[in-house]
Amino acid sequence: MATKPISAELHPGPGFRIRLDHPHPPASLVRQLARFATPDISDLLNRLYSVDSAIACLTGSHHRLCGTVCTVKVFPGDNLMVHKALDVARPGEVVVIDARASTMNAVLGDIICTKARHRRLAGFIVDGLIRDLPGILDLDFPVFARGTTPVGPLHRGPGEINYPVVCGGTVVSPGDAIVADATGIVVVPQDIIEEVLLRLDEHDARNAAYLAAVGRGEFSNEWVDRLLLEHGCPIADDETAVMHLVTALES
């Protein structure tokens, strides 16, 4: 009698597990991140917590996400755990799906998005493909992904819910905050949300006067000349240019 190989069986535990509860930062704290532009958040995280720009909003530049994360890891081309995430994610959460950037099958479409909207989820960010985009557009429901395909998913597993995933090259853990808009996607680890908000407030205060001056055309690039001179960048043998660099360095 033919039987399937033992290696084809699903094994409970890592790779096939669901966590129903995990630490969450206060929703009021996370909502404050919505006041800031994603480039500024990225800058103040030293440019290391942004998601691959190939994952973009497919449902309109007006869509913006800001919330805590429910993470989903799927076997490429399978969406069993995406369906289950509809029961696990909390209202207002962003569901982040690690499909390993697969270009084979979509992992969600308009039906899942319809269900997600009924469950009051904030939206999806998919490191992979989706399908049924016209139907999703009719829902006006935020979905970020690498692209679309007509090829639908399988529903077999394995997968994980609410364990760390990788989305667009950045590690995302359940309960982290994510901010996504037409400019890009940034992850803020939950243990530093408060610190990042303080940095952002200070940054805005410092930057206001500078931006106002730039808007009036009042700015100088002497700092560029200073760096060029410090690193020995040759520009010209022109005496005036050399004297300009020396003056900049001494100022």
Residue spans per domain, the chain? 13-198, 220-251
Q: What is the rounded distance in angstroms from the CA atom of residue 38 to the CA atom of residue 61?
A: 14
pTM above 0.85, yes or no: yes
**Structurally, what CATH architecture does the domain formed by 13-198 represent?**
3-Layer(bba) Sandwich (3.50)
Residue 71 CA to residue 57 CA, distance in Å, equals 18
- Residues 148 and 58: beta-carbon distance below 8 Å: yes
What does pLDDT average to over the chain? 92
Name the CA radius of gyration of the chain, rounded: 23
Which tokens belong to 141?
A: 């429901």
**Cα 177 → chain centroid:** 9
Least confident window among 47-61, 84-98, 217-231: 217-231
Is the sign of the CA dihedral 186, 26, 73, 156 positive or negative?
Answer: negative
What percentage of the chain carries pLDDT values higher than 90? 78
What mean pLDDT is predicted for residues 18-34?
95
Given a cut of 90, is residue 51 above it in pLDDT? yes
Confirm if 16 and 72 have CB atoms less than 8 A apart: no
Q: What is the pLDDT of residue 217?
A: 87
139 closest CA partner among 127, 130, 129: 130
pLDDT surpassing 90 at residue 93: yes
How far is it between the farthest Cα atoms of the chain? Answer: 90
Mean pLDDT of 81-109: 97
**pLDDT (average), residues 229-236:** 85
What pLDDT, on the 0 to 100 scale, is given for residue 218?
Answer: 86
User: pLDDT tens digits, residue range 196-219?
Assistant: 999 999 988 888 888 888 888 888
Residue 1 has pLDDT above 60, yes or no: no
**CA pair distance 48, 139, nearest whole angstrom:** 33
> pLDDT value at position 6?
75
Taking only the tens place, the pLDDT of each residue in 131-143 is 999 999 999 999 9
pLDDT at 238 over 90: no
Read off the pLDDT of residues 146-191 as tens digits, 9 standing for 90 and up.
Answer: 999 999 999 999 999 999 999 999 999 999 999 999 999 999 999 9
Long-range contacts of 202-211 (CB under 8 A, 24+ apart): 203/40, 203/43, 203/44, 204/36, 204/40
Alpha helices in 33-161 (DSSP H): 38-44, 80-88, 110-118, 133-139
Which residues, 6+ apart, have CB-to-CB distance to 66 below 8 Å? 30, 31, 33, 34, 122, 177, 178, 179, 180
Whole-angstrom CA distances from 147 to 107, 125, 151 are: 11, 11, 12
Judge if the upstream peptide bond of residue 234 is cis by omega within 30 degrees of 0: no
Reported residue count of the chain is: 251
pLDDT at 205: 82
